[in-house]
Structures are given as structure tokens and as C-alpha cells.
Homo-oligomer: A and B are copies of this chain.
Amino acid sequence: MARAGTLIESVMDDIESKIASRAYLPNTRLPSVRAQAKAMQVSVSTVVEAYDRLVAEGTIVSRPGAGFYTSGPIAPLDLNQIGPKVAREIDPLWVSKESLEATPDALMPGCGWLPSEWLYQTGIKRAMRSLARQNSLDLTEYASPKGSQAFRHFLQRRLLSQNIEARPEHIMLTESGTHAIDLIARFLLSPGDTVLVDDPCYFNFHALLKAHRVNIIGIPYTPNGPDLERFAQALADYNPRLYITNSGIHNPTGAHLTPSVAHQLLTLAKASELVIVEDDIFADLETTRAPRLAALDGLVQVIEIGSFSKTVSASVRCGFIAAKPDWIEQLVDLKIATSFSGNRLDSEIVLQTLTDSGYRKHMEKLQGWLAKQRIDVSERLLRLGIQPWIQPKDGMFLWCRLPTGTNATQLAQDCLSKGIVLAPGNVFSQSQSAHDYLRFNVAQCTEQKIFDVLDWALKQQQ
């Protein structure tokens, strides 16, 4: 009986979680008892009992002659109620809030952006002064639906330098890289679809995909790109609709895709009609170009997105989508419906900064600083027994393994109490298999205090 009770409860839990995540919509018919029993591989009597109890709870209603229906209207969407419960410290939303809300004196080796003084502030200020001098429509008028023509011409040339061919009319500006992915998800996904991400991957992908109520499957990431065997298996098992990745500087590992993996990955994707979103926000930090899936594919199944939050400014919002023509037109409709217009002033500030003669020079200096910091921080971490997974060629991230037996979540909690914001590995891991990893941002690791507090926190766990 205990076993039967457990089974009934697990059927109830499964149905309740489908309702919470809106996989079952309100006022909608549930599968018949027989179909449910078959789908869940339990007996018909177990489902009958589970449905009866759910009716008693008011979660579902029985309509005689028509079957069982979900009750409606349902509670508002609560992202914290979707998916398995995780500790607060490894909840992506919590980590985002913690970093975004940190006081100016907090040290943030776990955050994903550069310190303000490393960015090209001179260029931003020059662009703002120049715009403030003109009687420009850029100051007051709505943007055109796809955004500034001049910016899209600039992006065409920029993409071409990565061997990606996209005409200006196949490019649309967005508010940010996240906004770009969100529009694509709205366009391509329905609740219950499956999406592949790298494991580990940028933690906000998890939060964003949760908001779209899709199944998220993590593919183990290797130093050369995703594990192809597991990728092929996931295609066969889940028939996923979308895969989101960074080909250049991978977040959080700093690895990059090799040409061979890129080619095989695309071959697999072609065979299964998988759409790939290639998120290229770190492009300007690259000294050696990794191959781009969009270059191999020619924007057929690959959608290229990017933004300038990491290299120009996170305060001035501007991103883009390059995709095939009919998709761009429908994405424009979705953008108008949900934002009405884009950010004209910001896109003009970013364009002027990017085309300022000092920008390229500043980026070269920045690449040099980052290279130096990657070595310096690696050495300091190694002395504490913290081991970088690889030595990345570019970018700001070091993905690091803690000494055996250390719990990254506990470490992050201890360090937070001393004003240090870390990024514990499981925030990035769909499979929750990175409990002994941390992501470090070398640009945010200039203070000795960080290493002193890490040393202290590691000793707490010995």
C-alpha cells in the first residue's frame, strides 16, 4: 500500500507540476485515464485515484461525459515554481539579482561583466556630446521597425568579417542579446518544446527558457564544443526545437568551438531541423577567431545574435538578430507588438562608439589586459588549490574546479557574508553536476581581499 500511495502521489505531483508550468493550460481537457496510464506507465486504477484526489483538492474538475479538465484561471506565472526546486544560492534569478543589486563596494569576481573603468567611456561620452549638439530626430523620435539603417549596414560589414553574409534588411536591432533570444523563443517555441543548452552555459538561459515553459536539456560541454555523442543522442531522444550556444568565447568556460566540431554539429542539426541560436556577445574580445556556425550554415538554420553590453556598455541597451528573410519579417512584427519600437538613442550612441577611431585601439588594449589577468588570476587561484578547467585563449572567464570535497554553493554563501559575490558552478549547470566549480571573471579579480576571503572560506570546509 505504501508503494501504491507513493505512485498515486507521484502521478499527482507530475500533473500539478504540468499545471504550474502551464504545460497543461487552464480549462483544458486532461488526457483520458487510459492515455495517462499508458503515458506514465502506471495502472489505470492509479490514475483514477490520482484524478479523484486532484478533483477533491480542486486542482482539476470532472465534467460528466466529457472527462477531466484543469481548473481555471490559474495563478500568475511564478518562475520560482517552474522546474525542480534548487537552493536559493544556485537559483539563476537569485544570482542575477545578487549581482545586479550589489552595493558599489561589493567585490564581484562572479559577475559576468567588465568593470566600468575597463570600458571605452571616452567614446560613449564623445558620442553623447555629439548627439546632444545636433537637432537630431535620434533624440526624440521612434526608431524604424528594424532599427537604424546605418547600424545595420555596419553590422553587415562586421558579420562579413566573420564570414557571415547578412544583408541589412535581414538584420533587426533589439534592446539586448537577452531580448534577441527572448523574441526568437517567442517566435519558435511553444510550452512543452525541448531546447538544448550547453552544460554548463550562461545561467540566464535557464531563467529565460523557464519563462517560456520549455523542457531544457543540458549537453556536456568539452574544451572543443558540445559533446557530439550526447548531442546526437539528445536529438534522437527529445526531438528538440532549438539549441543555444556561444561559439566564440563560451560562457562560463571560455572555451571555443573547433572547426571539426562545428562542422559535425551542423551536420547533425541539418538532419533534424534543429534551429541554432549562436549568441556572439563576446566577439570583440576575441584575438583568434573561432569558427561561426552561422558562417558555415549561411543563416539557414542558424540565427546569429549579439549585443554590446560586454564591450561598449551594459547601461546603453542594444543588441541584434541576423536571420533568414521571412523569419526577420515575422520577428519585426513580434517586436512591434511587444515593444512597439526599439531604442533609437542607444543604438546611435553604440554605433558612434563602435565606429569611433579609438574603439579598435581600446579593444586591443583590453585584450592585452585580459590576457595578463587570466595568467595572474590563474596563478593566484592555483596557489589556493583552485584549478582552471582550461586556459582560455580569450575573454574574461576562468571556469575552475575547487579542491576535492569543497562545496561551491557553501563557499559562495560564506564569501557573500564577507561582501564577495561568487558564481557557484551549479548555477550554470542544468544537470546540477558542477557543485565543485566556480566561474571567475578575471577583470573583477584585482583586489587581494578576494583571494584572502577565498582562502578563509576554503579552510571553513576542511
Contacts and interface: CB of A to CB of B under 8 A. Distances in A.
A22 B190 contact: yes
A340 B241 CA distance: 23
Interface string A204-224: 100110110000000000000
A182 B100 contact: no
A314 B346 CA distance: 12
B190 A145 contact: no
A31 B27 CA distance: 12
Contacts of A141: 113, 116, 314-315
Interface residues of A, number: 93
Interface stretch (A132-140, A152-160, A284-292): A132-140
A73 B241 CA distance: 7
A75 B315 CA distance: 35
Contact of A204 (B25, B38, B340): B340
B38 A187 contact: no
Given A79-B330, A100-B336, A336-B93, A140 B124 contact: yes
Nearest to A349: B345
Given A93-B336, A178-B340, A67 B32 contact: yes
A119 B16 CA distance: 52
Given A25-B190, A113-B142, A333 B80 contact: yes
A336 B78 CA distance: 13
B100 A143 contact: yes
Interface in A29-86: 29, 31-32, 34-35, 38-39, 65-67, 72-74, 76-80
A86 to B, nearest CB: 14
Given A80-B333, A128-B131, A345-B315, A208 B100 contact: no
Total copies of this chain within the assembly: 2
Nearest to A177: B340
A247 interface: no
B124 A139 contact: yes
A224 to B, nearest CB: 28
B315 A140 contact: yes
Contacts of A441: none
A417 to B, nearest CB: 21
B338 A315 contact: no
A97 interface: yes
A137 B125 contact: no
A295 interface: no
A336 B97 contact: yes
Given A338-B182, A343-B343, A315 B211 contact: no
Contacts of A31: 29
Interface in A247-285: none
13 contacts: A25-B25, A25-B191, A96-B145, A121-B135, A128-B132, A129-B132, A140-B315, A142-B309, A142-B314, A182-B339, A315-B343, A317-B343, A345-B346
The 7 closest A-B pairs by CB, nearest first: A315-B344, A207-B337, A128-B132, A178-B340, A142-B314, A125-B132, A211-B337
Given A26-B190, A35-B66, 18 more contacts: A34-B66, A73-B193, A77-B334, A79-B334, A116-B137, A125-B132, A128-B131, A132-B132, A140-B316, A142-B309, A175-B317, A175-B343, A178-B340, A208-B337, A211-B334, A211-B337, A317-B342, A343-B346
